[in-house]
Amino acid sequence: MSRGMSAATAAVILAGLVTATGPASAATVPAAPAACVPDVVRLPALPSGPWTSGAVNGFGANGLAVGESRGLPAYWTADRAVHAVPLPAGFENGSVTAVNAKGLMVGTLKRSSDSAGAAFTYRAGDAAVRLLTGAASGSGLSDVNDAGRIVGMEGGVPKEWANGTVVRVLPVPEDAHPSTRIVAVDGINKRGDVLGTAHTEYLDVENDQVVSKTFPVVWPAGGGYPPYSLPVWNETDWTTGTRASGIDDKGRVVGYEAENYHGLRRRTPAVWKKPYDAPPANPGLVTGYENLTLEGISPTTNVTVGTAVTFVEGYARYVQAAYWPGTGAPLVLPNPAGVGADVNTEARTVSDDDRVGGSFRDLLTLTDSATIWTCASKQAYLPQG
């Protein structure tokens, strides 16, 4: 199972400058696979598309990577060739959000006329995608595990599919306020535990205040146990919410708290462990950056990736792909060789074989490239403050 950035209640605006590359810190990163070779690979783009966006959202077996290129769902094979996922009639853009070890891709298609989305599955070489939903607002898939269990939203309703059939509608936690709704489904691990994000908002008459809370939810595999409402730092402030982004095979959850108010932007990394009975831990920030998001977690190696960013007057000014080994200080990943200073990078997904996927943006041309860091643990370094 491998996944990328999912739909959520707030998005991080990524634009700015990054710092120079530096040496890896062998004492703070896990051992990389012996066969890996450190590299930063800017993958080729599709010939044309509606946008300039490009990113790697997930990894499969045998060198397969999936994501988006020029605003279209795409995948890259081991020879680094780019391939378009065929679009059904009426859809103009989309993204592959995840792929499992058996090559089953999942994602979301969009049409420009009304911004409606549809959830799809696809395998490399197929003549057409398989639509799991009709076109509607709030429809799309976020993740798939190796057993073929798929999770996402259909018309704003969180669901789980198996063999193309809905097997579970994911309920709101029993301890949640009646106003609570699920706003995103963010991942599924090998066992089948599902991760999502919920939002509640209501008037607390006794204290004469509006309560607004966005928080992660975990639905245990199989549906035999009620879902968990994960504790968060903030439970009342409408300017602040906490989104989930990844869950590993042990149930470890990563995400971040986001504050948005006028020109104020703040992103604080958050990590939860089972039994989810305590507020999240904060692994700290990358040296030299004021904010950090955690966007993806490896299935078994305890590695998390995301983006380090500093905002200036509400805009992301300094941005770089981040790598946290699970202990110690969060690190950053280098830029591709031979590029100037006017670039940014972000990391969205990480595999057990030490690949990190994300994107590279040239701020002079405003074009994005889907990017892979191979042997990432040997490239991650602690920037100078």
- Give yes or no for residue 18 having a pLDDT over 90: no
User: Tens of pLDDT along 331-381?
Assistant: 999 998 878 778 899 999 999 999 999 999 988 888 889 999 999 999 999
pLDDT for 236 equals 84
Residue type, 124: A
Yes or no: say if 335 and 346 are a contact pair by the CB < 8 Å rule: no
- Give yes or no for residue 237 having a pLDDT over 90: no
Domain boundaries, the chain: 2-378
Yes or no: say if 195 and 186 are a contact pair by the CB < 8 Å rule: yes
Mean pLDDT over each residue of the chain, to the nearest integer: 89
- 2-378 adopts what CATH topology? Methylamine Dehydrogenase; Chain H (2.130.10)
pLDDT for 350 equals 98
- Give yes or no for residue 55 having a pLDDT over 90: yes
- Give yes or no for residue 3 having a pLDDT over 70: no
pLDDT for 203 equals 86
User: Tens of pLDDT along 147-196?
Assistant: 999 999 999 999 999 999 999 999 999 999 999 999 999 999 999 999 99
- Give yes or no for residue 134 having a pLDDT over 70: yes
- Give yes or no for residue 221 having a pLDDT over 60: yes
Can you tell me the mean pLDDT for 197-226? 91
Strand 367-374 to strand 39-42: parallel, antiparallel, or no bridges (unpaired)? antiparallel
Give the confidence band of 206 by pLDDT, cuts at 50, 70, 90: confident
Residues 6+ apart with CB under 8 A from 288: 19, 310, 318, 383, 384, 385
User: Tens of pLDDT along 290-339?
Assistant: 999 999 999 999 999 999 999 887 777 788 999 999 999 999 999 988 78
User: How far, in Å, CA of 56 to CA of 73, rounded?
Assistant: 10
CA geometry: angle at 67 spanning 61 and 71, to 5°? 160
